[in-house]
Amino acid sequence: MHELPVTEQIIKVVLEHARKADAHRVVQVNLVIGDLTSFVDESIQFYFDFLARGTEAEGAALHIRRMPARVRCHACQHEFAPDGVDWRCPRCGNLGGEVLSGRESYIESIEVE
Amino acid sequence: MKTMRKVEVVTDILNANDQIAQENAATLKAHGILSVNLMASPGAGKTSLILQTARALNGRLRLGAIEGDVASRVDADKVAAAGIPVVQINTGGACHLDAPMIRQALRALPLDEIDLLIVENVGNLICPVEFRLGEALRVMIASVPEGHDKPYKYPGIFTAVEAVVINKMDLAPYVEFDLTALREAIRGMNRDAAIFEVSCRTGEGIGEWAEWLWGQWQARRAPSAR
Ligand SMILES: [Zn+2]
């Protein structure tokens, strides 16, 4: 549900950058989204296609690079990717740690012509 | 032949929201208000915790509240009946509050008469945590009937909060619930979070939680206020 206002914002930023670059068409939008966020790729795509109509971004491909969650163990400093609901360090068995990545949500770049 | 070019953007998707959140934070700070974004599943006891907190603080901090709900103002009426200034936000279907909604609500509150503002977010553990409101503290309620494995299902919120309030402790003997396992899971994901065990029904543990808020408020008080 919250993908709608978020996608409105994505399109706004994309169009600003496209105009600044004197582009007449946006071909691709590259997003980076972490697995610990609640953004659903399909929802963003759905709203993007709808909201981009009639703008320079109409028909642009949406490329979403997913960042897996990475955690650094509090006990032994080992870095690992939690496997779904299992946040136990595979090296020492300690539970959880500091979140290093997985919370990203940004527009990395756009490809224009 | 048209030429393809790559344009660097690197702008956070939530940039627009975060800018307004910063404005809200500045407004709250200017009025010396400690603000808490209270998040939880539906029925975990958000409104009850606000009412119990007001009782426990017993005038030491003047409370204000913003009640976020998809629809209805049942919760706001309960809070208003307790004499707490409250603004109701109906999101009309949206699953979370965002910074523009809070900016709007702040205009309707007597900010000079409030020391502690508790924002009751829309009941869910997923979306609210993505949207900063300008709050000083993020707090979640994990209630006993929801089970001790919640952190593994919703790591996003458990890693983001400054405190976890475990509510409905009075029900622990009647449901399958392992407090040690829950505490261990919270600790594992968020070493710094304060953890409180309370029952909004019996009042157990509320004093300790209210003391923590009082401490947080004092720690943030501007030096000129001394
Ligand atoms: Zn380890």
DSSP, res B51: H
CA distance B179 to B76: 31
Residue B11's contacts (CB-CB under 8 Å, 6 or more residues apart) are A13, A106, A107
ipTM for this model: 0.84
> What is the least distance, in Å, from the CA of A23 to any CA of chain B?
9
What was the pLDDT predicted at B95? 84
Near ion ligand 1, which residues have CB within 5 Å?
Answer: A 73, 75-76, 78, 89, 91-92, 94
Give residue-wise pLDDT tens across range A82-107.
877 678 899 998 888 888 999 899 99
Residue B21's contacts (CB-CB under 8 Å, 6 or more residues apart) are B99, B102, B131, B132, B133, B134
Give residue-wise pLDDT tens across range B149-167.
898 888 889 989 999 999 9
Residue B51's contacts (CB-CB under 8 Å, 6 or more residues apart) are B78, B79, B82, B200
Q: pTM for this one?
A: 0.89
Angle between helices A41-51 and A3-20 (to 10 degrees): 60
Is B7 close to A110, i.e. CB distance below 8 A? yes
DSSP, res B70: S
Count of pairs with CB atoms under 8 A, one residue in A, one in B: 115
CA distance B86 to B107: 12
Question: Residue type for A36, please?
Answer: L
Query: By the 8 A CB rule, do B197 and B191 touch?
Result: no
Is B127 close to A21, i.e. CB distance below 8 A? no
Model confidence at B222, in pLDDT bands (50, 70, 90)? low
> What is the least distance, in Å, from the CA of B37 to any CA of chain A?
18
Instruction: Return the residue in A25, A80, A95, A108 with the most chain B beta carbons within 10 A, the one to mutate for interface testing.
Output: A95
Model confidence at B226, in pLDDT bands (50, 70, 90)? very low
Is A107 close to B11, i.e. CB distance below 8 A? yes
Name which residue leads in pLDDT, B163 or B74: B163
CA distances from B103 to B36, B69, B194 (A): 15, 16, 28
Instruction: Return the residue in A1, A74, A83 with the most chain B beta carbons within 10 A, the one to mutate for interface testing.
Output: A1
What was the pLDDT predicted at B78? 94
Give residue-wise pLDDT tens across range A13-71.
999 999 999 999 999 999 999 988 888 889 899 999 999 999 999 999 999 999 999 99
Is B130 close to A13, i.e. CB distance below 8 A? no
Distance A15 CA to ligand 1 centre (A): 45
CA distance A74 to B25: 31
Query: By the 8 A CB rule, do A60 and A23 touch?
Result: no
